[in-house]
Amino acid sequence: MEKLQKGAILVLSGPSGAGKSTIIHAASKEIGEYYFSISTTTRPARVGEEDGVDYFFVTKESFEEDIKAGNFLEYAQVHGNYYGTSLKPVRDALDAGKLVIFDIDIQGHRLVRAKMNDITTSAFITPPTLSDLEERLRARCTDNENVISQRITNAKKEIYAVGEYDFTIINDTVDEAAKEFVIVAKAARLKQSEVDESQFITQWLD
């Protein structure tokens, strides 16, 4: 009996500057078909950002209407702006048997776990030490000193949630981190939901 590829959710969290996007890109050819979840936000687009590529940019009123309608898998308010994950593209990707990858914060991970735990696997990605993170943030030359300081402060708090994740990937070198990420992505696809378990037991007993 041919086994159909089923959809699954992989949540990635970790401090800004940990290299999550770089790792996904490096591993992309080996993890099968996937959908990288794009967040919806009420913040204005920055220079160079595209609607539907970087984010879905919407008004605050539109976002709040979708909250009331239950159209978000998770959402949060950060620095006065809403950020959230629309359910429709996630459902479409899961139905198509894709691995749905989220790059969200700790609060978002908790909300996803609460709603779709049985098909969710998670990994916390971080540089080896806080000093390494600080060095990488400064090397990017994309943020001013205040932003870097805030990111470091956030990272010090986030590290205490590492135990809530199924896996921890230490991004010392991108090659090694990408290899570990491929293993985690494959494990995510193998995770059995309660429905999968029931179907397997029924088939096994026949």
Is the model's pTM score more than 0.85? no
Which residues have CB under 8 Å from 160's CB, separation 6+?
A: none
| Length in residues, the chain | 206
Q: What is the pLDDT at residue 4?
A: 54
Domains of the chain: 8-205 (3.40.50.300)
Nearest to 83 by CA among 69, 100, 113, 103: 103
pLDDT tens, residue order, the chain (206 aa): 444 567 899 999 999 889 998 999 999 999 989 999 998 999 999 889 999 888 999 999 999 999 999 999 888 898 889 998 888 889 889 999 999 999 989 988 998 899 889 999 999 999 999 999 999 888 877 778 888 899 999 999 999 999 999 999 999 999 999 999 999 999 999 987 778 888 888 989 98
User: How far apart, in whole angstroms, are the C-alpha atoms of residue 59 and residue 94?
Assistant: 27
The H-or-E segment that residue 10 falls in is strand 8-13
CB atoms under 10 Å from CB of 56, counted, come to: 17
Q: Quick check: 112 and 104 in contact, CB under 8 A?
A: yes
User: How far apart, in whole angstroms, are the C-alpha atoms of residue 6 and residue 101?
Assistant: 14
User: Can you tell me whether residue 83 is helix, strand or coil?
Assistant: strand
Q: Quick check: 20 and 10 in contact, CB under 8 A?
A: no
User: Can you tell me whether residue 101 is helix, strand or coil?
Assistant: strand
Q: Quote the tokens at residue 102.
A: 């989220």
